[in-house]
Amino acid sequence: MSSPLTSDAILAQLRGVKYPGYSRDIVSFGLVKDVQVDGTRVNVKIAITTADANIPKQIEENATAAIESIPGVSEATVHLDVSAPISKALQAEGGSLPQTKIEGVKHVIAVASGKGGVGKSTVAANLAVALRGEKNTSKVGLCDCDIYGPSVGLMFGTNERPTATEEGRIQPIRRYDLNLMSMGFLLEGDTPAILRGPMVTRYTQQFLRSVDWGDLDYLILDLPPGTGDIQLTIVQTVALSGAIIVTTPQEVALIDARKAASMFAKVNVPILGLVENMSYFICPNDGNRYAIFGTGGGEREAARLHVPLLAQVPLEMALRESCDTGRPLTVSDPASATSQSFRQIAEAIQRQCPV
Ligand SMILES: Nc1ncnc2c1ncn2[C@@H]1O[C@H](COP(=O)(O)OP(=O)(O)OP(=O)(O)O)[C@@H](O)[C@H]1O
Ligand SMILES: [Mg+2]
């Protein structure tokens, strides 16, 4: 005789249903909104945001099959509430701006955050290496778009300066088989301090198109924090395939992450997912896990924005050291669990932006 059915038992079973194309399940993505058990009958509500009609169909089939496989269930009804992504909804209202492609580049992906210092550059650098792949399967470029505090030189251990051809095409720096550029490379000394508003906009527009990126599968743009002139110029004038938002689990960072997300939504740029950085700390002395900036923030925010939580990157000494010594962790220790979390982000991008 089987025990009475509970909504917890149903939820536990639904944790085995993966979101199509992801290794994560529909419960941890926060998509299951309601579970009702009526004797041997089960009703489940699932809300998803997607423009792909196959996804709701697959989730419905898999969730129904999963529930019906529980002993004692006579009937499972899965109700799906499907809505279009915010960007698509805006497009329908005619809110789009002309955004042009960068020549030779298949996908331009922005790494953004609302709050400063949450680890955008760390994520962008390691993500670029992870996307390139250990056998150089993809051609990847990384551009540090912070003219006030460029960090790509430090993170990749180079103070080489880019050169330009006679026609004025700027040649990126090659490091670890990546094409690297920094918007700050050409502005040395005191120049950045005097660049304001329209000048920043003009410089940004000109810069991105003057670089000879070569044929790239992915170009990662490491944006400055917030929603200033550089970020607005980029999101309004470059055809971005998508954006990744980096946050820490802290409420202040999450509120700012939301602002960054709405900047992309306004210009129809899809958010490919959220990365929660400094998620936890494993103490080397006692092996315990400490949630220094709290827990669950990234997961809640991802569910709120209806985007996947792509990875939870720990606060780790080796990651900080690798950035400061010019060898990203994905280069110096590709087998580490943290490098694996960057590969997880890369895989999600490759699935959403195939080349
Ligand atoms: N998970 C982590 N573990 C340890 N240190 C980290 C981690 N993420 C980032 N850091 C360190 O925190 C500092 C800030 O990170 P980073 O420069 O990547 O942030 P950012 O968001 O790009 O900052 P900014 O807003 O100034 O551009 C750096 O010293 C970096 O090495
Ligand atoms: Mg940065």
210 lies in a domain? yes
- Which CATH number covers residue 164? 3.40.50.300
Same domain, 66 and 115: no
Taking 3-state DSSP, the helix, strand and coil percentages for the chain, each rounded to the nearest 5, stand at: 35, 25, 40
- Given the CA of residue 222, which atom of ligand 1 is nearest to it? 22
Residue 7, helix vs strand vs coil:
helix
Query: How far does the centroid of ligand 2 lie from the alpha carbon of residue 182, in Å?
Result: 11
Tokens encoding 212: 């000879």
Same domain, 254 and 192: yes
Give yes or no for residue 124 CB within 6 A of ligand 1: no
Quote the pLDDT of residue 51. Answer: 67
Query: How far does the centroid of ligand 1 lie from the alpha carbon of residue 324, in Å?
Result: 10
- Given the CA of residue 117, which atom of ligand 1 is nearest to it? 23
Same domain, 71 and 209: no
Give yes or no for residue 120 CB within 6 A of ligand 1: yes
51 lies in a domain? yes
Rounded distance, CA 335 to CA 260, Å?
32
Give yes or no for residue 328 CB within 6 A of ligand 1: no
Query: How far does the centroid of ligand 2 lie from the alpha carbon of residue 211, in Å?
Result: 20
Closest residue CA from atom 14 of ligand 1 = 117
Query: How far does the centroid of ligand 2 lie from the alpha carbon of residue 150, in Å?
Result: 7
- Given the CA of residue 320, which atom of ligand 1 is nearest to it? 31
DSSP character for 223?
P
Query: How far does the centroid of ligand 2 lie from the alpha carbon of residue 305, in Å?
Result: 23
Same domain, 286 and 154: yes
Give yes or no for residue 277 CB within 6 A of ligand 1: yes
The answer to whether 14 and 32 are in contact (CB under 8 A) is: yes
Residues paired with residue 219 on neighbouring β-strands, in sequence order: 108, 141
229 lies in a domain? yes
The continuous run of DSSP H or E covering 189 comes out as: none
Rounded distance, CA 11 to CA 26, Å?
10
Closest residue CA from atom 18 of ligand 1 = 119
Rounded distance, CA 102 to CA 312, Å?
31
Quote the pLDDT of residue 174. Answer: 94
Quote the pLDDT of residue 241. Answer: 93
Same domain, 230 and 195: yes
Give yes or no for residue 228 CB within 6 A of ligand 1: no
pTM of this structure: 0.76
Closest residue CA from atom 3 of ligand 1 = 315
Angle 100-256-251 from CA coordinates, rounded to 5°: 150
Closest residue CA from atom 23 of ligand 1 = 117
Query: How far does the centroid of ligand 2 lie from the alpha carbon of residue 155, in Å?
Result: 10
88 lies in a domain? no
Query: How far does the centroid of ligand 2 lie from the alpha carbon of residue 322, in Å?
Result: 15
Quote the pLDDT of residue 86. Answer: 43
Same domain, 77 and 207: no
Q: What is the pLDDT along the chain (355 residues), one digit of tens a residue?
A: 456 799 999 999 999 999 887 777 888 777 898 999 999 999 999 988 776 788 899 999 999 999 999 999 999 999 998 876 544 434 444 444 467 888 899 999 999 998 899 999 999 999 999 999 999 999 999 999 988 777 888 899 988 888 888 888 999 999 999 999 998 777 665 555 556 677 788 888 888 888 999 999 999 999 999 888 888 889 988 999 999 999 999 888 888 888 899 999 888 889 999 999 999 999 989 999 999 888 889 999 998 888 999 999 999 999 999 999 999 999 999 999 999 999 999 999 999 899 8
Domain span at 319: 105-352
Same domain, 194 and 50: no
Same domain, 141 and 282: yes
The 10 Å Cβ neighbour count of residue 236 is 17
- Which CATH number covers residue 71? 3.30.300.130
Give yes or no for residue 104 CB within 6 A of ligand 1: no
- Residues 6 or more apart whose CB falls under 8 angstroms from that of 111 comprise 120, 123, 124, 127, 220, 221, 222, 223, 243, 244, 246
- Given the CA of residue 118, which atom of ligand 1 is nearest to it? 21
Residues, beta carbon < 5 Å, ion ligand 2: 120-121
Same domain, 213 and 256: yes
304 lies in a domain? yes
Give yes or no for residue 125 CB within 6 A of ligand 1: no
Domain end among 83, 117, 143? 83
329 lies in a domain? yes
Which residue of 151, 320, 321, 345 sits with most ligand 1 atoms within 8 Å of its CB, as the best mutation to test the pocket? Answer: 320
121 lies in a domain? yes
Same domain, 229 and 110: yes
Same domain, 340 and 305: yes
Same domain, 342 and 229: yes
Closest residue CA from atom 11 of ligand 1 = 320
The total of structural domains in the chain comes to 2
Q: How far is CA 10 from CA 28, 37, 274, 282, 296, in A?
A: 14, 9, 27, 32, 22
Chain Cα centroid distance, residue 211 = 24
Q: What type of residue is 252?
A: V
2 lies in a domain? no
